[in-house]
Every structure is written in structure tokens, then in C-alpha cells.
Amino acid sequence: MRKSCDQSQHSKDRQSNLFITISMRLLTHLRDGLTTLVYPATCQVCGAMIDRYDDGVACAACWTDAHITPLFAEPLCRKCGLPLPGRVSSEPALHCGLCGALSFTTARACGAYAGALEASIRFLKSHPHLCRRLRRLIARAVAEQGARLAADVVVPVPLHKRRQRERGFNQAEIVARVVARAGRLPVAAHLLTRAKPTERHRAGLDGKDRARSVAGAFQVAHPGFVTNTSILLVDDVFTTGSTLSAAAQTLLDAGAQRVHVLTIARVTARAV
Ligand SMILES: [Zn+2]
Ligand SMILES: [Zn+2]
């Protein structure tokens, strides 16, 4: 009798597991089928069909393109993370020679500002969402660069409040929350504020002009909070480094010990 009860229970468990498996598959198909309602149906890089919700605005092939693959393995400038092809990672003084004036301690990015990463960052400016593929890439960057970027708190680069009102959200804060979750760190979303709206960087501005245009742009809302802390400053993209440098300088002036930088992507041309 007991044996037959066990068999009956075993059979019910199997049916229940089968039901859950089929339901999960159906939900996955349904979700991927609904992808086009949330995301563009075609890859914003190559035009191919996107068939997985997790891939966001780029197709699976574009996500594995060698041009955007993670920068962690290449020889990088020890300070600013600029790829230095032809150099050797073990060189003790591996520096690009361009970032000496930038105020942050170390900067790293998940990949190059091109292809799927560029398309995802453009999409992020109008949609407050990071696809799962990108969240995994950020988590990998945090895992692999965690020791180099060791920090007490994650701080997003703020938008000026007028710009944030227009946009409805701060894209850097969305990235910062993913970074913080991966690194199990707190986020101080309103610690740094943008005191003046800075003009968008125009082509033709040299490094000094760019630095001047963002000088004094930031303020620390609670200076006592940053004394002797290590801060991980987060933004979507590292372009020239001048905005990140100005934000880092403001935090250092308020008493921070170190300011590391992590961005989704980095412009890799040697034009700081
Ligand atoms: Zn594609
Ligand atoms: Zn450098």
C-alpha cells in the first residue's frame, strides 16, 4: 500500500515537473515573440532579425563581434584603460602617455564603444533598461576588475536636473545599480550633483577646452560622507575622460581617497 502511495506521489511529481518545464519553455517563446513590442525587431548594427529578448537591440552574432569583446584581456593603460596593441600586459609602466592630467585613479570599461555596445548605449538614452546580455557583461567586468576597482560605494555620474527632467531618468544611475548589485555595494545616487548644465562635447574641442567646459560642473551633496572613501564612479560611456575626470576631482576635493571609474564602453581611438 505504502509502495503504491510512493509511486503515485512520484508520478505526480514527474507530471508537475513536466508541466513546469513546458510552461517555462512556452513563456520563453512568448517572451521572445513579444521582443519586437519592446525592442526594434532588427539588429541596430547589422539589420538581421533579433530572436532573443536577452540580446536587446543587437543580434547574437553582433554581441560576439571581436571589435566589442571585453577589453579586460588586452594590454591596457594601467590608469585609463586605453587598449595599447603591441604592448605587453606585464610591462610595469604600461601607460598611454595621454591620461596624466585626468583626475580619477583607474578607469575600465566592459568593451569598446562600437557595434552592439554603441547601439545599446544609444537605446539606453531613451529607454531605461539594460538587456540581460549587457547586465551579464557588466557583472563579468565587476568580477574580473573588482580588485582593481575596489570601492566602498557606487556613484553614478549625474545629469543636470533639467536634462534629467527632460529624459525622465539618469542612464548612468541605471548602469550604477547593475554594477552595485554585481559588486554587492551600496549606491549613492544623489551624492554627486551637476551644478551647471554642460554643453555637449562638440567635435573640434581639444582636451583642454573639454576640461574647461566641465570644470566646476559637479558638487558633492554630503561632503562628510565621502571622507576617506573609495568611490566607484559609473557612467555609460568613456569618451574623452574629461567629464569623468571633473566628477572624480570634485569627489577627491571633498575628501575621497580614491575614485575609480567603470563604464559600459570606451572610445578606443587615441584622442584624449
Ligand atoms: Zn547584428
Ligand atoms: Zn592612459
**Can you give the pLDDT of all 272 residues of the chain as single tens digits?**
555 555 666 666 777 676 666 666 667 666 665 655 666 689 999 999 998 889 999 999 999 988 787 777 789 999 999 999 888 878 778 999 999 999 999 999 999 999 999 999 999 999 999 999 999 999 999 998 888 899 999 999 999 999 999 999 999 999 999 999 999 999 999 999 998 776 555 555 566 666 667 778 999 998 889 999 999 999 999 999 999 999 999 999 999 999 999 999 999 876 54
Q: Tell me the C-alpha to C-alpha distance, in Å, between residue 201 and each of 11, 102, 108, 156, 262.
A: 66, 17, 21, 19, 20
Is the residue at 129 inside a domain? yes
152, part of any domain: yes
CA of 241 to the centre of ligand 2 (A): 10
> Looking at the domain assignment, is residue 25 inside a domain?
no
Residue 173 lies in a domain: yes
Distance of alpha carbon 248 from alpha carbon 158, whole angstroms: 12
Which pLDDT score, from 0 to 100, does residue 21 have? Answer: 65
* CATH code, domain with 79: 3.40.50.2020
Spacing, Cα 101 to ligand 2 middle (Å): 10
Cα 212 to middle of ligand 1, angstroms: 38
The H or E element that residue 3 is part of is helix 2-38
pLDDT for 272 equals 42
Ligand nearest to the CA of 75: 2
Ligand 1 centroid to Cα of residue 198, in Å, is: 34
Query: ∠ at Cα 193 (159, 222), nearest 5°?
Result: 160
Which residue range is the domain that position 108 belongs to? 66-266
Number of structural domains found in the chain: 1
Q: Is residue 20 part of a domain?
A: no
266 CA distance to ligand 2 centroid (A)?
12
Q: Specify if 13 maps to a domain.
A: no
What separation in Å is there between the alpha carbon of 47 and the centre of ligand 1? 6
Q: Tell me the ligand closest to 93's alpha carbon.
A: 2
Q: Rounded to the nearest whole angstrom, what is the distance from the C-alpha of residue 68 to the centroid of ligand 1?
A: 12
Interval between CA 200 and ligand 2 midpoint (Å): 23
The pLDDT of residue 23: 67
pLDDT of residue 260: 98
- Does residue 57 belong to any structural domain of this protein? no
What pLDDT does 200 receive? 57
Backbone torsions φ then ψ of 233, nearest 5 degrees: -90, 130
Q: Does 121 reside within a domain?
A: yes
Cα of 190 from ligand 2 centre, angstroms: 29
